Amino acid sequence: MRTHRAGEMMRLPRRNGTPSNTTKRQSLRRWFEEGFPRAFAWLATTVYRLTGDWRGWRPLLTRTSAHLAVIAVAIVAIRLSNVEWPAQAAPTLSTPALPASAGAGGNEEKAEDVLAQFNRQNGRAFLNGRGGANGAIIRLARPHTIIPERPRLDIITYTVQVGDTVQAIAALFGLQPTTIMWANPAIEDAPDLLRIGQEVIILPIDGVYHTVAEGDTLESIAEKYKVEPEAIATCEYNHLEPPNYSIEEGMRLIVPGGEKPYVPKVVTTYTGPV
């Protein structure tokens, strides 16, 4: 056995008061292994509870926000309605007074001066109020233009389109359907058999379109269509020359307000053995 001498003290290894690096790493590792999962679980539980509470409060918050928005809009509208907006004053055209003068010549000279002064004042007022140039009158823009209906001055032709009927064509030109039929023999015979591309004669007024035959006179034509001869003679669309108002065979005349006599259609049928 090894013995120590008297008075000698046995040397023991001294330990440092501060923890070593190895101890720190072990503590940090233990915290990550044990403490971090607990902290994460607590955080997840807290978030879930807060989310559940928010879902419960969300309908109430939505309704409250909508009511507050309506109240804010109403307040703004009331405030704006009480605001007095400045109105632009219309330019006032002043008329200078004519000064009194003793002589007639002086009156003429003064009148010319006053008229020139009046024009200058009106020009300046127009420039200040309307923004015109050199006092000229500018036509204001009108977004809606009314086009007046002008009467047609001559006979025209119309090409039948898809879906056209005699009634539709007559309404398009402001005429009676009978006027369309009496001016077009093919349509008069079969008014329901319009063909696309077919040309239709359109009279400028209601009446009958008559072709002068041999032996016709204004009196006979007027009697046929139940009108006065003067109506045919003075019709501006017939271009008849006074005082005789002579007509020729083959000439086509418009009979204003005329009515064509009704001619019943004759249908021939055959009976018997074939």
64-118 residue pLDDT tens: 888 788 888 888 888 777 777 666 655 555 555 555 444 444 555 566 676 667 6
50 part of a folded domain: yes
Say which DSSP state 227 is in.
S
Note whether 180 and 170 are within 8 A (CB). yes
Q: Is 82 left (phi over 0), alpha (psi -120 to 50) or beta?
A: alpha
User: Which residues, at least 6 apart from 211, have a Cβ–Cβ distance to it below 8 Å?
Assistant: 250, 251, 252
Residue 193 domain-assigned (yes or no): yes
Q: What span, in angstroms and rounded, lies between the C-alpha atoms of 171 and 180?
A: 10
How many CA atoms lie less than 13 Å away from 177 in the CB half-sphere?
Answer: 9
Taking the C-alpha atoms of residue 31 and residue 21, their distance in angstroms, rounded to an integer, is 16
Q: How far is CA 188 from CA 154, 249, 265, in A?
A: 22, 23, 11
215 and 171 fall within a common domain = yes
- The reply to whether 31 falls in a domain is yes
Q: Is residue 269 part of a domain?
A: no
115 and 195 both lie in a single domain? no
Please check whether residue 150 lies inside any domain of the structure: no
| DSSP-based three-state secondary structure for 255 | strand
**Does residue 89 fall inside a structural domain?**
no
Same domain, 114 and 197: no
Which domain covers residue 123, as residue numbers? 106-135
Do 196 and 244 share a domain, yes or no?
Answer: yes
How many independent structural domains does the chain possess? 3
Query: What is this structure's pTM?
Result: 0.44
Q: Which residues contact 253 (CB under 8 A, 6 or more apart)?
A: 209, 210, 212, 221, 232, 235, 238, 247
Rg, Å, the chain Cα set: 54
pLDDT in tens, the chain (274 residues): 444 444 444 454 455 555 566 777 777 777 667 766 777 777 777 777 766 665 666 676 777 888 788 888 888 888 777 777 666 655 555 555 555 444 444 555 566 676 667 666 655 555 455 544 455 556 666 666 665 566 677 899 999 999 999 999 999 999 999 999 999 999 998 888 899 999 999 999 999 999 999 999 999 999 999 999 999 999 999 999 888 899 999 999 999 999 987 666 666 777 777 6
In this structure, the answer to whether residues 122 and 211 fall within a common structural domain is no
* Within a domain: 194: yes
In a domain, 131, yes or no: yes
Q: Are residues 122 and 172 in the same domain?
A: no
Residue 217 shares a structural domain with residue 161: yes
Beta bridge pairs of residue 156: 202
In terms of domains, do 203 and 130 share one? no
Q: Do 221 and 164 share a structural domain?
A: yes
Contact 161, 196 (CB under 8 A): yes
